[in-house]
Structure 1
Amino acid sequence: MSQSNIKVAVQKFGNFLSSMVMPNISAFIAWGLITALFIPDGLWPNEELATMVGPMVTYLLPILIGYTGGKLVYDQRGAVVGAIATMGVIAGAEIPMFLGAMVIGPLGGWVIKKFDQMIEGKIRAGFEMLVNNFSAGILGAIIAILSFLGVGPVINTFTNMLIAGVDWMVGTGLLPLTSILIEPAKVLFLNNAINHGVLSPIGIEQVKETGQSILFLLEANPGPGIGVLLAYMFFGKGAAKRSAPGAGVIHFFGGIHEIYFPYILMRPLLIVAVILGGMSGVFTLVLLNGGLFAPSSPGSIFAITAVTPHHASAYLANFAGVIVAAVVSFLASSFILKTGKQNEDDIEAAAQKMQEMKGKKSSVANAFAGSQGAMPDHVTKIIFACDAGMGSSAMGASLLRKKVKEAGMDVTVTNTSISNLPADAQVVITQEELTPRARNKVPNAYHISVDNFLSSPEYDKLISKLQFPANSELHEIVDDAEDAGTENQSEAGKFEGLLLPENVFLNQKFANKEEAIRFAGKALVNAGYAEESYIEAMIEREQMTSTYMGNDVAIPHGTEAGKKAVLKSGFTVIQVPEGIDFDGQKVRLIFGIAGKDGTHLEILSGIAVTCSDMENIEKMVEAKTAQEIIDIIGKK
C-alpha cells in the first residue's frame, strides 16, 4: 500500500472513531458534571449521589460508544448487537473500556449485517420477527462471551502497559514529547480515539490514586488551536482572517477543535506551531502539577474549568497550561504567517481538503445538487448536519446564522448529527456525501448538499430562496443560473446592454395579467430582442405555471420551445404602481425576459437578488425616471 493510501486509511479510521464518540459527548458532560459536583473533592460533596460516578464511567459511556459504533455499521440492529457485545469487554476488564467499545461495537454491527445478508430471502413469511430477534440475541451473546474471554483481558493488559509507560514519561520529564504525536493526530481526526480510547481510561485510573490526572489535558487543551486562530486574526489575509474570530470563539468556548484544522491545512508548517504550543502547555502543567479529575468533553475552557480540582493551585496550573500553550502557538504561527506567502482563497480550498480527508467527495459543478422536496412556505428552522454534529456543521451554522441575522429574517439556524435530525426538520444542509443518509432520516425535509461548510455563495442562494417562497420552479431556475453564472458571465456582460432606458415603462395600467404580459412581450419585440412569436410563448408559459415571484414581482418569459424566437438577450421593466392581479397576487413590477444561450438564467438570478429586498421594490415602484430603476438593478 502506498504512503498516500495509508494516510487516507488512517484519516478515515480516525473519522470513524470520532463519529462513535462525538454523538455521546453529552453523556461525557453529564458524567463530568456529576463527578465535579458530588465526589468528596467536588463542589457539593454527596456520598449518595457520588455513587453514580463509577457505574456511569464503567457501564454507561462504553455501552453508548459500542451502541453508536454498531449503529454506524448497520443501523438499529447493528447498534443493539454492538451494545450487547460491549458488555462482554466491560465485564472482562478492570478499567473503563472506551477503547474496547470502539473495537467491539462496530464488530458486532458488522457481524449481524453479514448474517442478515447471508439469510436474505431465505426466511419463510411470518417468521421474520422470530429470526431477527433470535439472531441478534444469539450473535450478540456469542460476541459478548468471546469479548469477555479475549478482548477485555487483552485491552486491560495493553492499558496497564500504557499506564506504566506514562508513569515513566512523567518521572523522566518526557511527557511534553507526546504533543509530537497528539497534535498531528488531531488533524488526522484521531483525537477522539487518543483522548477517549487511550488517555481517558489511564487518566481515570490515576484519578483513583491521586485525585487528578494531567492526561485529561494532553489532547483537550485548547491553547495550541486558539494560538493559530489568533495569529490568523492579526496576520492572516482574506476569508481566513475574516473567519478566524468566529472560529476562535467556537473552538475556545465551544470546545470544537475540528474548526481550526482547515487553517492548519492552509499552511501545513503550522503543525510545528501547535506541536510547540502543546509541548509548552504540557511542560507548564507538569511543572505546576496541573490536571483534571475527569475528562474534558468537549475541550472547551468552560468544560476544563468545571472538572478542575477545586483549589487555587489547580486552577492556576491548568489556566497557565492553556495560556502558555496559546502564547507559544501564537508566536510560532505569527512568524510562519508573516514570513510565508498567503493566498486569500486558501481557506475554502483547505476546508474542502479537510472534508476529502474525512472521506467525503466534493462536487463543484452544482453545490445544490440533490435538493429534494419543496421548500416550505414558512421556514423557521435550518439544520446543518454532519457525522457528529459538532465540527463541520458548527462552522456552517455559524456562518449562515450571521447571514440570516443580516437579512433580518426570523429563522433559527442550528447544527446536529445526522442521527439526531428531528422528524419535523424543514431545511437540512449536509455535505454531498452525507445527503442520502439525511434524506433517509428525514425524507420530508428540503435537503441541500454543499461542497464545504465554509463556502458562502451557497448560503446567499438559500437566503434568496427564503425571501422568495412563492415559486418553487423559479427557485430551480435561479439555482441553475447561479451555478452557470460564471460560464455565461463573459457573454452576458453582467447586464450591459440587456436593459435600456427605452425599455423601462413607468406608471402603466392593465385590465388583466394577459394584457400586461402581451405588453411586455411586444416591448421585447420592438426592442429587437425577440420575434413576434415569442409573445405567444410567454402566454403559454404563464398558463403552465404562474411567473409571480413574490414581493409584488412577476417575471413573464417564454417556454423552452419559445427560445427559438429569441434574437438576443435582454429584458424590460414595467412599473404598475396600482398593481395588477396575478392569480390572486398583487404585482407592481413586471420583468419581461428574453434570454439566449442560457443568459435568461443569469437575468433571473440578478432580478431575484435585487427584488429580495422590499426596500428595492418600493424604490422601483416609486421611481420617477427609467434611470432610477436601472441604477437600482445595476447596484445588484
Structure 2
Amino acid sequence: MSTTTEARSGFSPRVALQKVGTSLSNMVMPNIPALIAWGIITAFFIEDGFTPVPALGGFEDAAGNPHLGIVDPTIHYLLPLLIANTGGRMIYEARGAVVGVVATMGVIAGSDELVTMLNLTQPSDEQIGQIHMFIGAMIMAPLAAWLMKKLDQLWQERIPAGFEMLVNLFSAGIFSFLMALIGFYGLAPIVNGLMNLLGAGVEGLISLGLLPLVSLLIEPAKVFFLNNAINHGVLTPLGLTEASQNGKSVLFLLEANPGPGFGILLAYSFFGRGAARASAPGAALIQFVGGIHEIYFPYVLMKPALILAAVGGGMTGVFLNVLFDTGLRAPAAPGSIIAIFGNATTDSYLGIALAVIGATVVSFLIAALLLRIGKQEEGDIAAATAKMEEMKGKKSSVAGALTGAGAGAAGAASAADDSGHTGRIEKIVFACDAGMGSSAMGATVLRKKVRAAGFDDVEVTNKAISSLSDEWDVVVTQKELTDRARQRTGSAVQVSVDQFMNSPRYDEVVELVQQRNDPEAAEEGTGSEAAASTAAGAGVGVGTGAGAEPSADEGPGSATAPEILSPESIVLAGSATDSASGIDEAGALLVAAGAVDEGYVEAMHDREATVSTFMGNGLAIPHGTNEAKSSITRSAMSFVRYPEDIDWNGNPTRFVIGIAGVGDEHLELLQKVAMAFSDPAQVERLEQATTTDEIRAILGDEKESDA
C-alpha cells in the first residue's frame, strides 16, 4: 500500500504497529530513571555487588525467614506499578492512573499465586521465580483506564447535582475492584503463559547460538520505526526478568548497540557525496554519544541496500556480546555509549567494547563496499529525511541536524509543510495558561477554517498547557508560551501566534492539513480549499457544520445563557485608559455580578503580567490564572467598549471582555464572541451598537428584535 493510499484511507498496518510501539514507549520511557535507580541499587547492595548490604539487597536468615530488602520489591511491584500509573494517566489522566494501578496489582498478585501453586508441584531444583508483570501493566492499565473513561461518559450527564463526588469516587473504587479481580483470574494466566513462551524462545536461541539472527528483524525494524514495539514490548520485560535473576541481561544490548549505525555514518563520511558526506560526521557524533539512532535512518533510506550493513553490524555485535557473556543491569535509554557503559556490569566492559567496535567495523566495511561499487548519485538528504518522517508519522526531533532547519519546526506550520512530511494531522490543540479564554476563542476560529476546508474529521480543541501530553499533531500557542508547550508536546508541530483572532498562521495550518491529509488534492493547486479557509476567517458565509458562522439572530436557547453575559455586565462607554485600568473595570463588573471575589481581579493582573490577553481586531479578554479558579463562584463574562482605543501593552484596544469560567459553561458564548470578532462587519456593528440588547444579540447571547 502506498503512503498516499494509506494517508487517504486512514489505516496502515505499519502505522498501526508504530502507534502500538509508541504507546509502549510512552509508558516505559518516563520510568527509565526508576529502572536506572534499580540498576544502581542492584549493582551496590546485592550479595555480588560492589558494597553488599544484606538488609537492602535481601537475604534469608538462619531460620529460613526471607528479608526482602529493596531490590526484589522494586522490580516486582514498584516498576510495574509505575508503568501502570503512566499508562493509565495517558488514557484518562489521574483517574485512569488510579484505576490502572489497582487493576495491575490484581495481575501481579494473580501471577504470584500461579507461580506459587506451580512450585508446590515441582522439585526444589526446578522451581521458577517470580514473573514480573511489565507486559501485564502495559496491557491492563490502559485497558482499565479506557473502560473507566467510557463508563464515566455513560452517566456523567445523569448525576444529580451535589452527588458528583460520591458517584465519581465510588464508581472508580468499585470498577477498580472488579478490574483487579479480572486481572487476577483472567489476565495473569495469559501473561504468565506469554512470558514463559517468549522466555523459552529466547533461551532456545541462545542455547543454539542463533541469537544474532534477531538482527534480521531488529535492524530493518529500526529504520521503519517499528523497534519500539519490539524493544519495549518484548525485550525490556524479558530483560528485566533475566536481570532480576542473573544480575544482567544481554537482551538490553540487542537494539541499543550504536555500532551498526555508527559504521554506516563513518562510511558516508569517507565515501559519501555532497550534503550526505558533509553532514555524516556530525550525525555520527549525535548517534554514538547522544544515543539518537534515528539520525542515521535517512542515510539508509537514500541507499536501501545499506540495510545489509546494519544487519551485518547488528549480528556481529550480538555474537560478540553472547560470546563474552555480557549484559546490562537495566535498559540503556537512549542508546548512547555512555548510557550503555553506565548500565553495564563490571565483567561486561571488555565484551561490550569489543561488540560495539566489531559492529562498527563490519557495518563500515559493508557500507563502504556498497557505496564504492554501487552507482552513487549525490544523495538528497533533505528528501530522505522527509521520507523518514513520513514513515515515522511525525516530525523528527533530529531532522534539523541533517537539513539545517530548526529542530522541531518551532513556530511555523509552513516550515513543517516544507519538510514534505505527509503523515495525517488528526488532532490540533490551542493551549494557553488557563485553557478557558484565549485558547477557546482561537480554537473556534481555526476550527471554522479547518471545517470550511472540508476536514470535518480533524479535532480542533483547547486546553491548558499544564494538561497537555505528547498526543497532539499541531500545537498552537501565543509565542510567549511556545517553549512551555514544546516541553510537553515535543513531537508536535509548534505554531506560535502573536494574537488569536486573525493570525495568518491559521491559513498555514489549514494548508498543512491539506497537504498531509489530502496530498493529491493539495497538489492540484486549485486553491478552492484555501479560498474557503480565507473566506471563513473573513466572515464570509462558507462555514459548514460545527464551524458554521453564527448569524446575528442565533442564540444558545438556554435558560442559563443570559446569566453568562447579563445586561448589567455590559458598559458601552468605558473609562479606562490602559490595560491595568481596563482589567480593573472588567473585573469590577464580574465582582458586581457575584461571579468572582476581589482576589480573582488580582489574578487577572497576574496573568496579564505573564502573557498578554490581547486577541487582535481591537479585542482583549483578560481572565485569571489557573490557580485562581477557586475564586470563581459561577461562570460569567463582562463587556466594556471604549469611545477611543486604549493602549493594551502596545496594542490599540476598543473592546475588553472579562471572563470567569467554571467548567465549560461559558464556552458556547465565547465561541460566538470569537466568530463575531473574526468578522470585520460584526466588529463594526459592535462599535455602532447603542443598547446592551444589541451587544448581546451580536455576540449571540440574545435574539435581536429587528434581526
Task: Give the alignment's TM-score, normalised by structure 1.
Answer: 0.57
- What is the match of residue 33 of structure 1? 40
For the structure 1 residues 401 and 172, does the alpha-carbon distance in structure 2 shift closer, same or farther, using more than 3 Å as the test?
closer
Q: Does 1:187 align with 2:205?
A: no
Cα distance, 1:358 vs. partner? 3.8
CA distance in 2, matches of 1:138, 1:453: 36
Q: Which structure 1 residue ranges, 5 or more long, are not aligned?
A: 361-385, 387-391, 405-417, 425-431, 466-470, 485-583, 586-636
Structure 1 residues 453 and 64 mapped into 2: Cα distance closer, same or farther (>3 Å)?
closer
Q: Distance in 1 between matches of 2:294 and 2:461?
A: 23
Q: Distance in 2 between matches of 1:106 and 1:454?
A: 21
The 5 Å alignment of 1:164-563 reads 164-311=200-347, 314-338=348-372, 339-347=374-382, 349-360=383-394, 392-393=396-397, 400=406, 440=465, 441=467, 446=479
Residue of structure 2 aligned with 1:161, choices 197, 205, 217: 197
Q: Confirm whether residue 101 of structure 1 aligns to residue 131 of structure 2.
A: no
The residue aligned with 1:78 is 96
User: Structure 1 residue 111: deviation in Å?
Assistant: 0.4
CA distance in 1 between counterparts of 2:70 and 2:291 reads 25
Task: For residue 359 of structure 1, report the CA deviation from its aligned partner.
Answer: 3.7
Deviations along 1:316-343, one digit per CA (max 9) or x if unpaired, are 1111111111211222223334424345
Matched, 1:66 2:70: no
Superposed CA RMSD:
4.6
Q: Distance in 2 between matches of 1:402 and 1:147?
A: 40
Residue identity matched to 1:393: S
Q: 2: CA distance between counterparts of 1:340 and 1:454?
A: 36
Secondary structure of the 1:393 match is coil
Decide whether the 8 Å contact of 1:12 with 1:358 is kept in 2.
Answer: no
- Give the aligned residue type for 1:84: V
- Matched to 2:351, the amino acid is A
> What fraction of aligned residue pairs are identical, expressed as a percent?
50
Normalization by structure 2: what TM-score?
0.52
Decide which of 7, 12, 20 is 2:14's aligned counterpart.
7
Tell me, which stretches of 5 or more residues in structure 2 are unaligned?
7-11, 58-68, 112-129, 411-427, 435-449, 451-457, 469-475, 512-648, 651-707
Matched residue type, 2:397: S
Whether 2:151 is the aligned partner of 1:115: answer yes
Letter in structure 2 aligned against 1:33: I
Cα distance 1:351–1:87, how it changes in 2: closer, same or farther (>3 A)?
farther
How much has 1:281 moved relative to structure 2? 0.7
Contact 1:10 1:188 in 2 (8 A): no
The CA distance in 1 between the partners of 2:263 and 2:389, in whole Å, is 23
Native 8 Å contact 1:98 1:196 kept in 2: no
Aligned 8 A contact 2:25 2:232 in 1: no
Structure-2 separation of matches of 1:357 and 1:402: 16
Q: Tell whether the 8 Å contact from 2:102 to 2:177 is kept in structure 1 after alignment.
A: yes
**Per-residue displacement from partner, 1:91-111 (whole Å, max 9, x unpaired)?**
222312121222112111210
The residue correspondences of 1:138-157 to structure 2 (distance < 5 A) are: 138-157=174-193
Shift in CA distance, 88/256, structure 1 to aligned 2, threshold 3 Å: farther
Please say if residues 351 and 454 of structure 1, whose CA atoms lie closer than 8 Å, have aligned partners that are also in contact.
no
CA distance in 2 between partners of 1:35 and 1:81 (Å): 30
User: Aligned with 2:345: secondary structure?
Assistant: coil
SS of structure 2 residue aligned to 1:218:
helix
Q: CA deviation at 1:40?
A: 3.1
Decide whether the 8 Å contact of 1:15 with 1:358 is kept in 2: no
Query: For 1:242-301, what per-residue CA distance to the aligned partner results, in whole angstroms no more than 9, with x for missing partners?
Result: 443343333322333333333333333332221111111111112222222333233221
Query: For 1:269, what is the secondary structure of its paired residue?
Result: helix
Residue identity in the other structure for 2:356: V
1:162 Cα deviation from its structure 2 partner: 1.9
The residue identity in structure 2 corresponding to 1:320 is L
Amino acid at match of 1:184: P
**Total equivalences in the alignment:** 426
Quote the Cα distance in structure 2 between the aligned partners of 1:17 and 1:281: 25
Q: CA deviation at 1:121?
A: 1.4
Distance (Å, rounded) in 2 between the aligned partners of 1:438 and 1:280: 49
After superposition, the C-alpha distances for 1:522-579 in whole angstroms (9 at most, x for unaligned) are xxxxxxxxxxxxxxxxxxxxxxxxxxxxxxxxxxxxxxxxxxxxxxxxxxxxxxxxxx
Distance 1:280 1:423, change over 3 A: farther
1:53 Cα deviation from its structure 2 partner = 2.3
Q: Which residue in the other structure is 1:19 paired with?
A: 26
Moved more, 104-113 or 264-273: 264-273
